[in-house]
Amino acid sequence: MTEKIQQILSNSKAARWTALGLISFTMLSAYYFVDMIAPLESLLELKPYAWTPSNYGFFSGSEYMLNVLGFLIISGIILDKMGIRFTGLLATIVMLGGGLIKLYALTPYFAEGGFGYSFFNSFWTSMPATAKLAAIGYGIFGIGVEMAGITTSRTVVKWFKGKELALAMGMQLATARLGASVAFFFSADIAGEKVVDGIRTGNLLNPVYLGVALVSIGFLTFLMYTFMDKKLDKQTGNAGPGADPTEEFHVKDLKKIITNRGFLLISLLCVLFYSGVFPFLKYAVHMMQSKLGVDAHIAGKISGLLPIGTILLTPVIGFFLDRKGKGATIMIFGAILLTLAHLTFAFMPNSIAIAIIAIIVLGIAFSLVPASMWPSVPKIVEERYLGSAYALVFWIQNIGLMFFPWLIGVVIEMVNPGVSESIQAGDITAVYNYTVPMLVFSSLGVAAIFLGFLLRREDRRKGYGLELPNKRD
């Protein structure tokens, strides 16, 4: 069947790269929405929101909460049973619904006592009502974005297996991260964040409006892709999910995935590495404002260099992996760079130049590890289980991404007693010390290095081919 596919639609470079472009824009819109608030944490600390670092940390981790409770596993099963088209469209609809809830939670109307406020303000009083409702919306959005993520991974494998798989996955990741880069570079500008006469002001909703619009367009681009996907299935004689009973997924097959030691190692490496990057980005702008004494505009642009670096490097790394291999070794090297970058942030002097260098190093790490990690999964897991395998990887990853933003927020408050209260009282000179939180992040890199060596040893034992090229000539 693979030979037949290669003779038709997916053998056309124009067709498969067009398909990649359509689904990649969907992920770009999702990544913008994920990070559009991160550069504006300083506005959330002010009234009418009055969020503390732990409130913000809980909100940031809430994106992954419902997925950890089982929705991501359900997403994987839906993907294997219902196919790419159904799952991708469902994912974008769920993203849009969650995004609208988050938008409403952050409106002045709700924050000042609008519909539903009294209910959300009646419990867990240490958490503002705005943060609780925004967390619910973010959690629903998170179901959609992770469902879209595993669907996109499965889609890239479908069109590029045996061809430019790592390059294609690298390009998809790079395009998605362009959305994150736009968020960091321009959110403060879009919000009009500034300090006037000692008072910080800005419209937090403007970036959120843009996020909802982009997610809506992302739905349309995935809808366009479904026509290409349907045509490919017709050409290959694949009528869709369930066409071949021998390929049908069963829940009991999860056991075959989770008992695979190579799969577990790559999943744990994934959660450590991603927990050292995404939760860091939630605090990066605020950290640089505190350490460097710069405003959110400059801090956001420094932080935005990380996604920009990955946009340029990830496809290059993917090209190298397709032709030369060394996937496991590259993961180890990336974990080393992750550790060095966070140690630099922990102890760096007040220097914008050093901060830029550290962000670039972290961006290189973030290019190396995912670009080598995601194409490695099909080498470890049978193709019929790929949807559920990617779902399990994302689920394990989501545990860390849910937990670490909250943990870092708690640590910030513990090592900075009284600072949050001073900021809420209007003291714009009050800043947080981020040394201990950055040491927590660097410890994740150390653990990832250790797991990388274990994965390379397992590859030698089982012959997965993680060190071999992806492209078959």
Mean pLDDT of 234-238: 73
Q: Are 41 and 202 spatial neighbours (Cβ–Cβ below 8 Å)? A: no
Give the separation between CA 186 and CA 104, rounded to whole angstroms.
Answer: 22
**pLDDT value at residue 405:** 92
What is the DSSP secondary structure assignment for residue 472, as one 8-state letter? -
Give the separation between CA 24 and CA 314, rounded to whole angstroms.
Answer: 14
Give the separation between CA 160 and CA 427, rounded to whole angstroms.
Answer: 55
**pLDDT value at residue 326:** 83
Q: Between 386-415 and 129-160, two packed helices, what is the crossing angle to 10 degrees?
A: 150
Closest residue by Cα to residue 352 from 299, 286, 304, 300 = 299
* φ/ψ of residue 426, rounded to 5: 100, 10
**pLDDT value at residue 242:** 42
pLDDT confidence bin for 239, thresholds 50/70/90: low
Q: In the predicted model, is pLDDT for residue 235 greater than 50? A: yes
Q: In the predicted model, is pLDDT for residue 217 greater than 80? A: yes
**pLDDT value at residue 238:** 66
**pLDDT value at residue 247:** 43
Closest residue by Cα to residue 136 from 91, 89, 104 = 104
Each residue's pLDDT tens digit, 433-471:
999 999 999 999 999 999 999 999 998 998 888 888 866
Query: How many CA atoms lie less than 13 Å away from 386 in the CB half-sphere?
Result: 22
**pLDDT value at residue 292:** 87
Q: In the predicted model, is pLDDT for residue 134 greater than 70? A: yes
Mean pLDDT of 154-183: 84
- 35-49: buried (b, 16+ CB within 10 Å) or exposed (e) per residue? bbbbbbbbbbbbeeb
pLDDT confidence bin for 244, thresholds 50/70/90: very low
pLDDT confidence bin for 116, thresholds 50/70/90: very high
Mean pLDDT of 136-150: 93
pLDDT confidence bin for 3, thresholds 50/70/90: very low
Mean pLDDT of 222-241: 79
Give the separation between CA 151 and CA 384, rounded to whole angstroms.
Answer: 14
**pLDDT value at residue 443:** 95
For residue 180, give the amino acid letter. Answer: A
Within 10 Å of residue 449's Cβ, how many Cβ atoms?
Answer: 18
Query: How many CA atoms lie less than 13 Å away from 164 in the CB half-sphere?
Result: 18
pLDDT confidence bin for 37, thresholds 50/70/90: very high
SS3 content of the chain, % helix, strand, coil (to 5): 80, 0, 20
Within 10 Å of residue 361's Cβ, how many Cβ atoms?
Answer: 18
Each residue's pLDDT tens digit, 68-84:
888 887 887 888 788 89
Give the separation between CA 76 and CA 118, rounded to whole angstroms.
Answer: 37
**pLDDT value at residue 468:** 82
Q: In the predicted model, is pLDDT for residue 211 greater than 90? A: yes
**pLDDT value at residue 416:** 92
pLDDT confidence bin for 154, thresholds 50/70/90: confident
Q: Are 381 and 175 spatial neighbours (Cβ–Cβ below 8 Å)? A: no
Share of the chain above pLDDT 90, in %: 46
**pLDDT value at residue 195:** 78
Q: Are 285 and 303 spatial neighbours (Cβ–Cβ below 8 Å)? A: yes
pLDDT confidence bin for 231, thresholds 50/70/90: confident
Q: Is the peptide bond before 48 cis (omega within 30 degrees of 0)?
A: yes
Give the separation between CA 168 and CA 101, rounded to whole angstroms.
Answer: 33
Each residue's pLDDT tens digit, 296-314:
889 999 998 887 767 777 7
**pLDDT value at residue 7:** 58
As a whole number of Å, the end-to-end CA separation of the chain is: 18
Give the separation between CA 397 and CA 145, rounded to whole angstroms.
Answer: 14
**pLDDT value at residue 469:** 82
Query: How many CA atoms lie less than 13 Å away from 220 in the CB half-sphere?
Result: 6
Give the separation between CA 171 and CA 314, rounded to whole angstroms.
Answer: 7
Query: What domains can you pick out in the chain, each with its CATH number?
Result: 14-234+251-462 (1.20.1250.20)
**pLDDT value at residue 6:** 44
Q: In the predicted model, is pLDDT for residue 5 greater than 70? A: no
Contacts with 431 (C-beta within 8 Å, 6 or more apart), sequence order? 289, 290, 293, 419
Q: Report CA torsion sign: 318, 222, 270, 163.
A: negative
Q: In the predicted model, is pLDDT for residue 139 greater than 90? A: yes
In the three-class reduction of DSSP (H, G, I as helix; E, B as strand; rest coil), residue 200 is classed as: strand
pLDDT confidence bin for 387, thresholds 50/70/90: low
Mean pLDDT of 173-180: 86
Give the separation between CA 431 and CA 286, rounded to whole angstroms.
Answer: 9
Q: For all residues of the chain together, what is the average pLDDT?
A: 86
H helix and E strand count, the chain: 22, 2
**pLDDT value at residue 186:** 93
What is the DSSP secondary structure assignment for residue 240, as one 8-state letter? S
Q: What residues form DSSP beta bridges with 194?
A: 201
Mean pLDDT of 7-33: 87
Each residue's pLDDT tens digit, 369-384:
877 887 788 888 877 7
Closest residue by Cα to residue 310 from 236, 368, 394 = 368
Give the separation between CA 110 and CA 106, rounded to whole angstroms.
Answer: 7
